[in-house]
A and B are shown apart, each in its own frame.
Chain A
Amino acid sequence: MPHNLPETELHNPQSTKPPLDPHLKALENEAIHIFREVAAEFERPVMLYSIGKDSSVLLHLARKAFYPGRVPFPLLHIDTGWKFQEMIAFRDEMVEKYDLDLVVHTNPRGAAENVTPFSHGSALYTDIMKTEALRQALDAGQYDAAFGGARRDEEASRAKERIYSFRTPDHRWDPRNQRPELWNIYNGMIRKGESVRAFPLSNWTEVDIWRYIQAEEIPIVPLYFAKKRPIVERDGMMILAEDPRLELLPGEAKREEVIRFRTLGCFPLTGAIRSGATTLNDIISELETATVSERQGRAIDRDQSGSMEKKKREGYF
C-alpha cells in the first residue's frame, strides 16, 4: 500500500534533481516539522553551526523549512580558534550566500589564558573552549532553544536523548529524568532561564547524511574529500599539518598523504583517514563498507569511558 504513492511532484524544469527517495523524504519531513515547531514555540531560538557535514544538512533543512521566508534565527559558531582554516572560509561564504545572521563566540578567558589543545590537554581544552564557551554564548544571547545536529546513532548516550532535550538554567542535562516524548508531539514548555536543545537530525544515520548531501547537492567543506595533504602522525592519529601553530615534537615528521576527514572538529584533535574518496559516490561506497565508526577519529570521545555523557551533562552538545 505505501509503495504506490500518488505522483505528487511536478518536475521543476529548472531542477535537475530527481525527487528524494521515500526514506530521505521521511527524514526530511520530520526535521522540517521540528524546525517549524521550535521556531513557533520559542522566543529566541538559535542554531548551533559547527560547519561540519551535519551542520550543512541542518542549515539546508532550516532554509527549506522556512522557505519562502529567510531563516528566522541566527547561527551560532563557537570558535575555539583551532578550527581548520578551510572551515572558517566556508562558514563566511555560506553566511554571505544564504543571507544568514551569524554570531561567533570565543571564550575570552580561554583566549586570555592562552588555552590550547597542546598546553592543556584535550579534556580541559574542550571543557573551556567548547563547553564553557557555549554556555557563555547561550547566556549572552538569552536563547531559549538551540538547534543542534546531533544524531542518535553517533554515540551510546545520544541514543537516549530526546528530540527536545530539556536543560536547566545552568545548561545541565539530566539523562535519568528526561521528559517522555510520544508521537511527534513535543513539549516546549519551560520556565525563564531554562532552555531546550532541539535535534532535528536525531533519526538520521551517517549514511543518510551523505546520501542527502548528494541528493540535495548541499555544499560541504572540501576537507571531506580525499586530496594529498601535509600530515603528521601523533597518538595514533593523522593530524593535518598546515597551521603554523602546530609544533612538531621530537621524532615527528611532516609528510604528504592522500587523506580525507570523516568528521571535522578542531584540527589538532581530529584524525584523518587514508582514503581515495574524491566524490560523494566514493564516500558513500566507503561508508557502506566501513568497519569503524565515524567518531573513531575524535580524540575527545576517548578521554574516559562514558566520556560523551559526562560532557553532555555539563552542557556540551
Chain B
Amino acid sequence: MTAPAIANAALDDATAVSAHPAQEPVRATRDSRPLRLITCGSVDDGKSTLIGRLLWDTKAVKEDQAATLQRDSNGKQNDLGLPDFALLLDGLQAEREQGITIDVAYRYFSTDKRSFIVADTPGHEQYTRNMATGASTADLAVLLVDARVGLLEQTRRHATIATLMGIRQFVLAVNKIDLTNYDRARFEQISHEFKELALSLGVRQVTAIPVSALKGENVVYDGSGSMPWYDGPTLIEVLELATTRSAQTVGFRLPVQRVSRPGESFRGYQGTVAGGSVKPGDSVVILPSGMVANVTKIVTFDLVRNAAVAGDAITLVLDRQVDVSRGDMIAAIDSQPMTGLAFDAQLVALQPEGIQPGKRYWLKSGSRRQRVQVQPASQLDLKTGKWNHADELPMNAIGKVHLFFDEQAIFDAYEQNRTTGAFILIDPDTNNTVAGGMITAKRAALGGIHAEESRVILSLPADLADQLMATELFAGRREDVEVRRVNAGKAAEIIDAIDG
C-alpha cells in the first residue's frame, strides 16, 4: 500500500492517450539546453512589459498568479485589459514600495522548441553590478530601446557591459513601435545605429526587431498585420535559434571539487568538465604540481562512460597514485591552461568599498581559492568607451587590474574559456563577494626583463613589429603600448641616449 509509485508510465502510454484523446501527446524530449539570456533596458523602455508579455504569451503565468496580480494592482490594468506586468516581476516588497527593480531576478518560460532562463536586471546606472551578475551566465542579451527615443547613453553602457562579460549575440528590441505609427524608416535608422555600436564592440551577431510589447507584436506572435514591411523573425524565433555557449573546442579542463574515497579500492576525482572532452586512455596533467597520469575510467551513477564533454559532472579515475586535492585542475597534457603568479584581468567592482590597491583578497575560480593582491590600472569610462588611469575602483566601476598571487594560479583567458577564465574576489574582512573578474592574459616574465612598474623599449624591424602586434596578446593590451615609426639610425640614437 505504501510502496513507492515507481514511474513506469511508458507501459500505460497507449491507454493514457486513448483515454484522453483530446490531450496533446507528451513532449518526449527537448533537444537543446536552456538558453540563458539577459534583458537590458529601463522601466521607461517597457522592459517589464516585454518580459511580462513573454511570460504571458508562452503561458508561463497561471490563473491564480494573474488573480493575485489583479488584486495587488487594485484592478489597475493596461489598456488591453492585461494586468500590470511589472508587479509580476518585482518580487520583493521593497521593490513594490519603491516601484523599481533592485536585484537580479530569474524567470522561466518555454516553447515547444526550447526553454529559457531570463536574468531580469535593473537598468539604472547604479546597478551596473547587477547587470554584470546577470550577464555572467547569459548566452544572449536583449537590449531594449523606445522607438520614439532611440539609442541612449545607457544602451551603450549595457552593450559594453554585456560584451565585456563575454556575450556575443545581441537582439535589439525596438519597442513601442506602435507609438511611431509603425515607422519603418525610424526602425531602420535605430537598428543601423545599433549595428554600428555593436560592431565597434566587436559583436557581429545582431538582430534588430520592431516590437510592441504592450500589444504583443513580434514578441511571441508576429506583427505582420501592423508591420507588413518587416519580414524578419519574432523575438521568440531568434531566441529559439540562438546558440548556447560551449567550451568544447578548447582543451580538457576538470577543476577538482572533491576527492571520492568510499573505500580502499576506489579513488575518484569529482568535478564538472570546464572545457574540452575526455575519454579513457587520455593523458592528463595535474596542475599546479605538473604530475602526469592517464585516465582509466569516467564514472557516473548510471554507467561507466566512454567520454565526457564540457558541462558534464563526472568522477574521473586515473591510472596511478598521484597527489590530487580540491582546487587542483586536471587538464589535457597537450593543451594546458596558463599557470603563474601574475595575471591581468578586467573586473567589475560590486560593493560600496570598491577595490582597494594592495589589499589582499580571496580569489575563487572554479574550485580553487587563494590569496591575491589586486592592483588597479585603469577604469572604463562607459560614456566614451575609453580606459582612464585609475589607482582604485569604486562600486560599479569596470577596471583593468593586475593580480599578484602567493601561490601558482591556474587560468585560461576568459575569451577562450568562460569558466576557467572567470573568478570572484572575496573580502576577507566581510566575507562578501566584492568583484567579478575575467582573465585577459598572464603577465609575461620576459627572461627577467619584467619588473614592477617598468617599461621596455624595443627596437624592431617594422615587419616583425607588425607580426607581433597582430598576436592576441598584443591586441588585448594595445592601449598599453606606445609605437613610433623611425629609421634605424634614429632608433639607435634614442636607445644609445638611454644607455648613456
- Report A's interface with B, CB cutoff 8 A: 1-3, 5-12, 15, 17, 21-29, 32-33, 36-37, 39-40, 63-70, 86, 89-90, 93-94, 152-153, 155-160, 175-176, 178-185, 187, 189-191, 202-203, 205, 207-208, 213-214, 217-222, 224-225, 276, 278-282, 284-285, 288-293, 296, 305-306, 309
How far is A262 from B474 in the complex, measured between Cα atoms in Å? 59
A67 and B258: CB pair below 8 A?
Answer: no
Nearest CB to that of B102 among chain A residues?
A: A176
16 more A-B residue pairs beyond the given contacts A68-B299, A152-B106, with a C-beta to C-beta distance below 8 A: A2-B244, A8-B309, A33-B272, A67-B299, A156-B91, A160-B106, A179-B433, A180-B130, A182-B424, A185-B423, A281-B10, A282-B9, A285-B23, A285-B26, A290-B62, A306-B93
A63 and B64: CB pair below 8 A?
Answer: no
A182 and B136: CB pair below 8 A?
Answer: yes
B305 and A8: CB pair below 8 A?
Answer: yes
A40 and B12: CB pair below 8 A?
Answer: no
**Which residues of chain B from 404 to 445 have any CB-CB distance to chain A below 8 Å in the complex?**
418-419, 422-424, 426, 431-433, 436
- Give 28 CB contacts A-B under 8 Å: A1-B246, A8-B306, A25-B311, A26-B33, A29-B313, A36-B257, A64-B302, A68-B260, A68-B268, A157-B92, A158-B91, A160-B105, A178-B103, A180-B129, A181-B133, A182-B136, A182-B422, A184-B419, A187-B424, A217-B7, A218-B7, A281-B10, A282-B9, A285-B24, A289-B24, A292-B62, A293-B64, A293-B65
A160-B104, A181-B133, A284-B26 given; A6·B309 CB < 8 A: yes
Of the candidates A36, A37, A64, A284, the one having the most CB atoms from chain B within 10 angstroms of its own CB is A36
Mask of B91-107 contacts with A, CB within 8 angstroms, 1/0: 11110100000111111
A281 and B12: CB pair below 8 A?
Answer: yes
Q: Does B16 contact A (CB under 8 A)?
A: yes
**Min CB gap B102→A, angstroms:** 7
A23 and B32: CB pair below 8 A?
Answer: yes
Across the interface, A22 reaches (CB within 8 A) one of B32, B63, B105, namely B32
B62 and A296: CB pair below 8 A?
Answer: yes
Stretch of B182-190, B361-369, B481-489 lying at the A interface: B361-369
Of the candidates A3, A7, A179, the one having the most CB atoms from chain B within 10 angstroms of its own CB is A179
A40 and B307: CB pair below 8 A?
Answer: no
B5 and A219: CB pair below 8 A?
Answer: yes
Q: Please, which residues of chain A bring their CB within 8 A of the CB of B32?
A: 2-3, 22-23
Q: Does B277 contact A (CB under 8 A)?
A: yes
Mask of B1-29 contacts with A, CB within 8 angstroms, 1/0: 01111111110110010011001101111
A63 and B423: CB pair below 8 A?
Answer: no
A68-B262, A203-B117 given; A220·B4 CB < 8 A: yes
**Min CB gap A295→B, angstroms:** 8
How far is A187 from B13 in the complex, measured between Cα atoms in Å? 45
Q: Does B145 contact A (CB under 8 A)?
A: no
How far is A37 from B365 in the complex, measured between Cα atoms in Å? 12
B426 and A187: CB pair below 8 A?
Answer: yes
**Min CB gap A277→B, angstroms:** 9
B302 and A180: CB pair below 8 A?
Answer: no
**Min CB gap B260→A, angstroms:** 5
The number of chain B residues with a CB under 8 A from chain A is 103
**Which residues of chain B from 269 to 299 have any CB-CB distance to chain A below 8 Å in the complex?**
270-272, 277, 299
**Min CB gap A198→B, angstroms:** 14
B63 and A291: CB pair below 8 A?
Answer: yes
Q: Please, which residues of chain A bring their CB within 8 A of the CB of B94?
A: 175-176
Nearest CB to that of B19 among chain A residues?
A: A276
B107 and A159: CB pair below 8 A?
Answer: yes
Q: Please, which residues of chain A bring their CB within 8 A of the CB of B271?
A: 36
A205 and B115: CB pair below 8 A?
Answer: yes
How far is A27 from B36 in the complex, measured between Cα atoms in Å? 12
B419 and A1: CB pair below 8 A?
Answer: no
How far is A280 from B63 in the complex, measured between Cα atoms in Å? 23
A2-B32, A67-B299 given; A213·B433 CB < 8 A: no
Q: Does B350 contact A (CB under 8 A)?
A: yes
B108 and A205: CB pair below 8 A?
Answer: yes
A160 and B133: CB pair below 8 A?
Answer: no
A36-B270, A176-B92 given; A26·B305 CB < 8 A: no
Across the interface, B302 reaches (CB within 8 A) one of A17, A203, A208, A288, namely A17
Q: Does B132 contact A (CB under 8 A)?
A: yes
B12 and A93: CB pair below 8 A?
Answer: no
B115 and A23: CB pair below 8 A?
Answer: yes
Of the candidates B102, B277, B433, the one having the most CB atoms from chain A within 10 angstroms of its own CB is B433
**Min CB gap A220→B, angstroms:** 6
